[in-house]
Amino acid sequence: MTAQTTAGGGRKPVMSDVARLAGVSHQTVSRVLNDSPHVKEATRERVLTAIRELDYRPNSAARALVTNRTRTVGVVSFDTTLYGPASMLHGIEQAARGHDYFVSIVSVRTLDSRSVQDAVDRLHGQAVEGVLVIAPQTSAAGALAALGADLPIVAVGSGPRAKVPAVAVDNESGARAVTRHLLDLGHRTVHHLAGPANWLDAKARVAGWRAALADAGASAPEPLTGDWSARSGYELGLRLATDRSVTAVFCANDHMALGLLRALSEAGIAVPGDISVAGFDDIPEASFFTPPLTTVRQDFGELGRRGLELLLDRIESGPTDGRPPRVLVAPEPVVRSSTAAPGRRPAG
């Protein structure tokens, strides 16, 4: 018996077709689809074989009516093409697929309380079981605190004072590690091109950089603040190029490091011969910079997995008393040829 004859010509197969082919009841097929433990293994295999042969696709709307579960989670993101937030979203989608969940996404222009609440309300109307909020800006803290308790909420990429369960990359430890790498090479201090002050990642990376310098007893030059873009790295790099005391620079992300490399090249300054340069993110192009960039790799797949698992745990167990859990994902320093011991450039 083939899938076509069983399903009756060109129509899509239905659950009764699966039951007929497997020689079981309609209810048994439903139990298999809902992963019930009350099905014998041999029966389960017959049903799964029939599903594959028929290429049967369960009706998610019908399943939701029966189980009162939509197997859909919502994600509130914001309108950006920046590598970090975009990669967080991709990591969440991959993790949801691995858990057989659908993802419904609402993008907002800004992470203020009203925009985030409106987005969560829209997702609630779609019967999502919980919501992940990508929340890397300082304004998100107040927005998260203002959310009601109607749905399980987990923040991704949020700061330490989030009022909801949260998962984030340990930006401070990553910045501390890459700064310590530069100091261990023999640089007396490390300059910093920081990200925007209203971004939690930027603040944490400044904190890690300062902590590493303090641990080493090194002075902390005033950081220069950019906007994550290669252009801002280039413009700030033109200023650094005139300061002959600079021998090492840690940039808050790889795009700013790319702009800095361009500015130093135009000024006739060799990297790493005159100035060592390091970034943060390990974007896919980082190993193809000239020279290949020392940076800090973030595991966005792990971030998405941990965030989704935290949300699913809240969906299953409900809210708990006490401080909301916070999960930190460790980043990994990646050393390439853009950093080396101090060279010809005088330390000043």
Residue 336 has pLDDT above 90, yes or no: yes
Q: Assess contact for 130 and 315: CB atoms under 8 A.
A: yes
Where are the extended beta strands (E) located within the chain?
Answer: 72-78, 102-108, 131-134, 153-156, 166-169, 191-194, 224-225, 248-251, 276-278, 295-297, 326-329, 332-334
Where are the extended beta strands (E) located within 2-147?
Answer: 72-78, 102-108, 131-134
* pLDDT (tens digit per residue) in 146-160: 776 678 999 998 766
Band (pLDDT 50/70/90 cuts) for residue 215 is very high
pTM of the model: 0.78
Q: Which CATH number fits domain 72-169+300-330: 3.40.50.2300, 3.40.50.300, 1.10.1060.10, 3.30.70.100?
A: 3.40.50.2300
* pLDDT (tens digit per residue) in 252-275: 999 999 999 999 999 999 999 999
Domains 3-67 and 171-298 share a fold: no
Band (pLDDT 50/70/90 cuts) for residue 135 is confident
Q: At what angle do helices 41-54 and 15-22 cross, to 10 degrees?
A: 120
Q: Assess contact for 328 and 165: CB atoms under 8 A.
A: no
Displacement of CA 30 from its chain's centroid (Å): 35
Which of 59, 53, 61, 30 minimizes the C-alpha distance to 43?
Answer: 30
Q: Residue 131: is it exposed, middle or buried by C-beta count within 10 angstroms (0-12/13-18/19+)?
A: buried
Q: Assess contact for 124 and 151: CB atoms under 8 A.
A: yes
Residue extents of the structural domains in the chain: 3-67, 72-169+300-330, 171-298
Residue 6 has pLDDT above 50, yes or no: no
> Is 3-67 in CATH node 3.90.1150.10?
no
Residue 218 has pLDDT above 90, yes or no: yes
Which pLDDT does position 347 carry in this prediction?
Answer: 44
Q: Between residues 7 and 279, which one has the greater pLDDT?
A: 279
Which pLDDT does position 136 carry in this prediction?
Answer: 83
CATH architecture, domain 171-298:
3-Layer(aba) Sandwich (3.40)
Which pLDDT does position 2 carry in this prediction?
Answer: 44
Which pLDDT does position 160 carry in this prediction?
Answer: 62
Which pLDDT does position 332 carry in this prediction?
Answer: 96
* pLDDT (tens digit per residue) in 78-125: 867 788 888 888 888 988 888 888 999 998 888 888 888 888 888 888
Q: Residue 29: is it exposed, middle or buried by C-beta count within 10 angstroms (0-12/13-18/19+)?
A: buried
Residue 67 has pLDDT above 60, yes or no: no
